[in-house]
Structure 1
């Protein structure tokens, strides 16, 4: 019995380490891969590796092939969440530091409150959530201060502004896809759905890569082991190992505790970018990071409490923690 308890605790610790560290390191690994690979091609290769591996696992488990309706829904999610959310994030890191991108990604809980129209009455009747949203936008303005003050005079600053906006649009895409998945879930297992999302997103990103001229002058034989290792790490560690750890933790721990990865990842990304890549974080960006992370914590914790009370009021029983959430 003690051995089983020890094993369970060890798995929980390792799973938290996976979602904290792996997802925190992906921002820097993306910037390393971009030194040799164009952004949407890199996204396409990442997704096809992870998608094939997950599809192979589903075949091994002898799962049924999905219906055309299921494939279509997963294609929509692949377009919005992976090609839109992850693709734009990867594209943005051509122009902005990896740590800076991670801070902007931490605004996700704020966009969720703004776009989850079905729960507006509960959200915006709570002063803590309103305060969190206002603080979140204040943090964004602080992050943009240096760029906006120089954008009229510097082409580099303009590209940084476009990169920053791309991350925010990517975060919004992620929220839109999550809300779509909640109201229109595709039938089938979690692993099968994710596999098809990754495969569809891979083809979409490859099409974007071709249509935007990313491959003009690109020589795949010039990609070194560093570039390939970056993509493989993102595919296996980021899209599979950390995702499995995340979904397993949701069956063992309260979702509010599991979701703390959203606050730890930016800190890991900023520290790694500063220490390993010599990325510079200005004073305003540092203040903006603190404000955004504080607002995200305030919004997320309060939102969980509001949703719990709402379910208890409607059903007369405690909230049951979700088994699965959309994350890759």
Structure 2
């Protein structure tokens, strides 16, 4: 295998990881939630992944970031991994894994709304504004037409709560990403950067779980094998393989190309949730999903042209 084909091989594997692995982590959350409280899931996921990655980084003798960089990495890690991904786990107590993934797909829309320094550039483009409106209308449509059951009133309340929690998580993920992009110098990425983010997030999630009383009633021996399997999948595939693949891709591919995982992840999550977990998806929800992805796609394409 020559150098060019070898690079292409790793590029394909990295995209497979961010496309399909991240799309299946929503289902893994459901399995872990069967017996493990949400913030304990995040704590164990990030601490174990961070420690494994620290051993790898130490073995490679990579340069450790400065104190200021460590602080900024810790802040961005907490915002993205506890506030972002962690709240998705909390929300999946109330909504399906597919619903959570569809709502997370609005992150590119939040990038436009929260990147204040580029508002003049973005909002001079009518297509971006239309894309934002279409995307958020799709979310309302998707949440509105959750399949009914005999506990419709309770389900509607849970759907609203879960949707709000995931939206908050999406906002925090974007805030963490923007914070990191402005504080951490590009071109200096090492495994230590991701390690610090993971460990900081793990420690913060541990603290939240303690405050919430999650550790008090948690019995390790009572956790069944499927729940441990879900957690193991999140650690190995979600926080190590896919997260590292994403970190590498943004250094070798244009951001607009890497961000295409936003369109694929919800499709994978909805499909896997339906096939494996038996999550129901109504016809109007499929329409809502299409509307969300249309809005995101229109916004992303217009945003890329504006920045170019």
Deviation at 1:271, TM superposition (A): 0.3
Asked which structure has the greater RCO (Cα within 8 Å, sep 6+), the reply is 2
Query: Which position in structure 2 is the counterpart of 1:145?
Result: 144
For 1:305-324, what aligned pairs fall within 5 Å after superposition?
A: 305-308=305-308
Query: Which position in structure 2 is the counterpart of 1:19?
Result: 18
Distance change in 2, residues 1:190/1:291 (3 Å): farther
The answer as to 2:29 corresponding to 1:30 is yes
Distance change in 2, residues 1:9/1:71 (3 Å): closer
**Cα RMSD (Å):** 2.2
Structure 2: distance between partners of 1:63 and 1:167: 35
Distance change in 2, residues 1:72/1:15 (3 Å): closer
Query: Which position in structure 2 is the counterpart of 1:131?
Result: 130
Offset from partner CA, 1:81-101 (integer Å, 9 cap, x none)? 111001100111111100110
Gaps in structure 2 of 5+ consecutive residues = none
Deviation at 1:219, TM superposition (A): 1.2
Offset from partner CA, 1:123-145 (integer Å, 9 cap, x none)? 01111111100101211221232
Query: Which position in structure 2 is the counterpart of 1:236?
Result: 236
For 1:169-248, what aligned pairs fall within 5 Å after superposition?
A: 169-185=168-184, 189-248=189-248
Aligned residues: 305
Contact 1:111 1:175 in 2 (8 A): yes
Query: Which position in structure 2 is the counterpart of 1:94?
Result: 93
2:281 alignment partner, SS class:
coil
Query: Which position in structure 2 is the counterpart of 1:269?
Result: 269
Contact 1:73 1:186 in 2 (8 A): no
Contact 1:186 1:193 in 2 (8 A): no
TM-score by structure 2 length? Answer: 0.92
Structure 2: distance between partners of 1:81 and 1:258: 17
Query: Which position in structure 1 is the counterpart of 2:280?
Result: 280
The answer as to 2:101 corresponding to 1:105 is no
Structure 1: distance between partners of 2:5 and 2:74: 41
Deviation at 1:23, TM superposition (A): 0.7
Structure 2: distance between partners of 1:232 and 1:260: 26
2:213 alignment partner, SS class:
coil
Contact 1:44 1:205 in 2 (8 A): yes
Structure 2: distance between partners of 1:253 and 1:177: 21
Query: Which position in structure 2 is the counterpart of 1:325?
Result: none
Structure 1: distance between partners of 2:213 and 2:222: 18
Contact 1:49 1:232 in 2 (8 A): no
Gaps in structure 1 of 5+ consecutive residues = 309-328
Distance change in 2, residues 1:30/1:23 (3 Å): same
Distance change in 2, residues 1:73/1:10 (3 Å): closer
Query: Which position in structure 2 is the counterpart of 1:293?
Result: 293
Contact 1:83 1:205 in 2 (8 A): yes
TM-score by structure 1 length? Answer: 0.86
Offset from partner CA, 1:255-283 (integer Å, 9 cap, x none)? 32222111011101000001111101223
Query: Which position in structure 1 is the counterpart of 2:47?
Result: 48
Structure 2: distance between partners of 1:114 and 1:190: 30
Mean alpha-carbon deviation: is it higher for 178-187 or for 112-121? 178-187
